[in-house]
Amino acid sequence: MITVNLRPGQKRKRSGGNPFKGMLENFRTLGTKVKDPLLMAAMTGWVCVLGFLGFVYLNTTRQLYTLEPRLEQARSENRRFKTFLADKRRQEKIRDSLLAQITVIRRVDGDRYIWPHLLDEVTKALPAYTWLVDLSTTTAPPVVVTMPAKATKADSAAAAAAAAVPPPMTFQLNGRTIDIQAYTRFLRQLEASPWIENVTPVSAQTVVEKERPVTAFSIRAQYTKADSAYVRTAPFSQSVR
C-alpha cells in the first residue's frame, strides 16, 4: 500500500509506537533547538540540582524511618537506667546510714563483753597449784587508717567503720606457781583459747614467799574476738512456769 504525505516538513506519527521513544526523540531534538550553550548548562545544572535534592530527600526519609525504632529503644533504655541509678543512690544512702549506726554501736558496745570472756578463759586455763597476782591491760598502739588520693564515699564509710573498731586489747598476767610444768601448761592452754592470741612469756624467776620457793611469772597476751562457732547466746529474761 502506497501512502503520500500531504504536509511536507512534518513527520507522520506512527500508530501504536512506544511513547518513551517519542520522548527520547523530543529530548534529542531539544539540543538542536536550543542554540545558547549557557542556557543549556543552566538547564542541565537545574536538572542535576533537582535530582540531587530528590535523592537527599528520599535518603533522609529512609534514614528517619530506620532511626525512629532505635530512638524509641534508646529512650526506654534511658528511662530504665534512670530508675536503676535512682534505686542505686537510695540503696547507697541506706548503706551509709547503716554503717554510721553500726559505727556508733561499735563505739558504745565495743568493749562491754571483753572482760567476761577474758576472765572466763583465764580461769579455765589456770592449772592446779597456780594462782594469779595481777591482771592488767597495757597500752595498745592506735590504729592508723590511710586513705587513697581518690577515695569514694564507700571507701570513706568503710574507713570510718574500720577506724571505729577498737584495737585489740593487750593484757599482762602476773602469777605464781609451785610447779614449773604448770607454768608451761598454763601457756599452752592460754594459746589454745579462741579468745586469746599472741601469748608471750615475759619473765619467769624463782622467788621466796612465806618461806617457800615459788616461780613468779609474767605473761603478755592479746584479746581477740572468737569465731561465731564459739559464741553462745542466751536470752536476758526467761519465763518460768
> Over its length of 241 residues, how does the chain's per-residue pLDDT go in tens digits?
566 666 665 555 555 555 556 666 665 665 566 566 777 778 788 888 888 888 888 888 888 888 888 888 888 889 989 999 999 999 999 999 999 988 888 777 666 778 888 899 999 999 998 999 999 888 654 444 455 555 555 555 555 555 545 567 899 999 999 988 999 999 999 999 998 999 999 999 999 888 889 999 999 999 988 887 777 776 666 666 6
How many Å apart are CA 149 and CA 172, to the nearest integer? Answer: 39
Answer whether 182's CB lies under 8 Å from 132's CB.
Answer: no
pLDDT digits (tens, 9 = 90+) for 13-47: 555 555 556 666 665 665 566 566 777 778 788 88
CA distances from 166 to 136, 169, 226 (A): 18, 8, 15
Cell of 37: 550553550
Dist CA 185 CA 191 (whole Å): 10
Fold entry, domain 114-145+154-227 = Alpha-Beta Plaits (3.30.70)
pLDDT at 95: 92
Whether this model's pTM surpasses 0.85? no
Distances from the Cα of 212 to the Cαs of 9, 183, 215, 228, in angstroms?
158, 17, 10, 44
* 135: its cell numbers: 591482771
Domain ranges of the chain: 20-109, 114-145+154-227
| All three cell numbers of 56 | 537527599
Other CB atoms within a 10 A radius of the CB of residue 114 amount to 17
